[in-house]
Structure 1
Amino acid sequence: MSNGWNDDRFMAAAASYARRALGRVWPNPAVGALIVRDDGDGPVIVGRGYTRPPGGPHAEVVALTEAGEKARGATCYVTLEPCSHQGRTGPCSVALAEAGVRRVVIGLLDPNPRVAGRGVAMLRDAGVEVASGIREDLCAALHAGHVSRLTRGRPQVVLKLAVSRDGYIGKSGAGQIAITGEDVFRRVHILRAECDGILVGIGTALADDPVLNCRLPGLGHRSPVRIILDTSARLPLDSNLVATAAEVPLWLLVAADADPERTEALTSAGCTVIRLARPKDGRIEPQAAVRALGQRGITKLMVEGGSAIARAFLDADLADEVIISQSELVIGEGGIPPFGDRGVDLVSQDPGYRTVGQRTVGADTMTHYVRDRSET
């Protein structure tokens, strides 16, 4: 087979492998790498790696370690340009060259100013053949959070909603309503496990008393940081969120002038309190929230709040992806629209969003929209 066919195939495999690191390695990108050797009988994967948590080895080094001497003369497929700087680990470009890798195939060049083409230059200077932009669309989607944090100063934002057949997320005075089924529940919790943080507003926290962890068997340790927009530090000390703060990190975004006794009590209970400026309308602005999260290393954020939070993130043009799950349930009179006074058409009919997927999940339908950022 041609190099091009194999390059596409192995890059897709490297991207699939990289997903194992999503939500686990921030502020670093979740990179996947494969070492592939061909001694005349066809290509064989001899090394596999994905980024380990901060302080651990990068994907390329993990793959090189597994390959050992078989890396000499082989090809490395890596979803993001190998680093060229000394951090808590050494430069991966140097490691690849010293291992005798003959060729490196890169999915996406790294916008990190400490890399940004330097990794490619180091490899070529060492005599390594380099090809880049292979399955770039796939790798760009994989590393969207890393790129967003570096270029926009904020994480990639994924807004998730469940709506009834008649387009509502709940019913006034009815409390929490289960709208979608178990199949959607499982898919949403897999998505939670691939995010660094999950955000809701204090209204949702008070009304639902959620835990916001990942509740799939074997994935509890993959629960994202729970983040609450809590301007006045109202989260109760006896809430499920505070009760589990020692198990899964809980960050509260509060106004700078929030009651110091309340914030001290919440801090003593294990919460991380992050103070932000209070705007004129009294509520923390979504832009300020995501900037603060980006500064603390969050690269991919799921927003699961109610109608007000969803509308605020849309109005601020911060929702990079919107995932809407729709069931056959009919709520009827008293239904709560998903975006303040607007329905799903606020996204589905917005030319700035494109539909990238729609699938039947059990008895429900999940539609995935992505914001076109080509002009921003």
Structure 2
Amino acid sequence: MRDAQSRGESLIGATAHVTLEPCSHHGRTPPCCDALIAARVARVVVATTDPNPRVAGQGLERLRAAGIQVDLLPTDHPAAIRSRELNIGFFSRMIRGTPWVRMKIAASLDGITALPNGQSQWITGEAAREDGHLWRARACAVLTGAGTVLEDDPRLDARLPGLARQPHLAVIDSRLDTPPTARLFEPPYGGLPRRLWFFHAEAGSPQADKLRQRGADTILMPGANGKVDLGATMRELGRREVNELHVEAGAKLNASLLREGWVDELLVYLAPRLLGQGAGMAPFGPLERLADGTPLRWLDTQALGTDLRLRARIDGRDAFLTNR
């Protein structure tokens, strides 16, 4: 709207198509309803209502009260379905109170993510790694474990030209083993700010002060057996307004997240090679029956250089979208 007005285009009598119900409250920006009313548009086509209880239909009513025609698409309209997918993280946080969790894995064709000696760079090629950075950049936060930090010393930032923001970084670190010299404390690509959150299970750790001195938040989330409570962590990330959570972790944390039901979607990059022995993707189980395996639904496949990207969704995890 600002762009059209800056070009001298009048919006009086225009039709606006929006993917989400215009908000009716002050948040990070003023109410979108007010801007549409002030522009004197004649009609607003809305793909889906806003699940935020601060909006939840009030935006539509406000527009109608101003004399604007409002058309809400049926829930099964293709554009409504695509709009809910576009906002899947926001819908997840508003309805479930937790982020939409997407787990990224890079592996050989036989499912090996690292050799027995720990070497994992690089199993996949440059095109797959660049695509992985695009998915990092899409997320509100990246989640990893202390094991990955200690073994690989990654920065886990999105390294793409022209980025406007960096995803925050959350680390599951039960004993706060991360050293304050770790590379993740370095300024991320582009010098863009990000928050560092360490979820731990032991109170009174002297390491906490050292990490806080490096600008991190240390968040006590004790669970069973000295581990971090993953469910409480997900709810806390939701409270911190994380919509989409991008997981890049080792096999143990991957397995815990899957076993406890905190993964919604898998983003798997397969390289055309066999590695035989090494770390698997997520060694949960053992299961007694094949029927006890985690059911998936394929979303898409794409060739990236010599590698193959597979996207699959845990069956039923997106059911909260269907009644909108």
> Cα–Cα, structure 1 residues 83 and 365, in superposed 2: closer, same or farther, change >3 Å?
same
Matched, 1:365 2:308: yes
From 198, 201, 214, the counterpart of 1:269? 214
Matched, 1:131 2:74: no
Matched, 1:254 2:197: no
From 186, 189, 204, the counterpart of 1:243? 186
Query: Which consecutive unaligned segments of at least 5 residues does structure 1 have?
Result: 1-46, 48-61
Equivalent in the alignment of 2:90: 146
Q: CA deviation at 1:94?
A: 2.7
- Percent identical pairs in the alignment equals 34
Q: CA deviation at 1:244?
A: 3.5
Q: Which amino acid aligns with 1:362?
A: G
Q: Which amino acid aligns with 2:212?
A: T
Post-superposition CA distance 1:90-124 (Å, at most 9, x none):
32213212321011011221011111111111111
Post-superposition CA distance 1:250-302 (Å, at most 9, x none):
2211225150x2111111112122222x1221111221111111111111110
Q: CA deviation at 1:340?
A: 1.4
Equivalent in the alignment of 1:303: 247
Q: CA deviation at 1:137?
A: 1.2
TM-score, normalising length from structure 1? 0.76
Q: Distance in 1 between matches of 2:19 and 2:7?
A: 18
Q: Distance in 2 between matches of 1:96 and 1:257?
A: 50
Could you say what the CA RMSD is over the residues aligned between the two structures, in angstroms? 2.3
> Cα–Cα, structure 1 residues 82 and 175, in superposed 2: closer, same or farther, change >3 Å?
same
Q: CA deviation at 1:218?
A: 3.0
Equivalent in the alignment of 2:36: 96
8 Å CA contact retained: 2:17, 2:45:
yes
> Cα–Cα, structure 1 residues 130 and 161, in superposed 2: closer, same or farther, change >3 Å?
same
Q: Which amino acid aligns with 1:264?
A: D
> Cα–Cα, structure 1 residues 91 and 223, in superposed 2: closer, same or farther, change >3 Å?
closer
Q: Distance in 2 between matches of 1:228 and 1:113?
A: 30
> Cα–Cα, structure 1 residues 238 and 281, in superposed 2: closer, same or farther, change >3 Å?
same
8 Å CA contact retained: 2:93, 2:238:
yes
From 238, 253, 263, the counterpart of 1:319? 263
Mapping 1:90-239, distance limit 5 Å: 90-133=30-73, 135-219=79-163, 222-239=165-182
8 Å CA contact retained: 1:236, 1:242:
no
SS in 2 for 1:373: coil
Q: Which amino acid aligns with 1:166?
A: D
Matched, 1:329 2:269: no
> Cα–Cα, structure 1 residues 117 and 273, in superposed 2: closer, same or farther, change >3 Å?
same
SS in 2 for 1:281: helix
SS in 2 for 1:198: strand
Equivalent in the alignment of 1:80: 20
Q: Distance in 2 between matches of 1:296 and 1:226?
A: 12
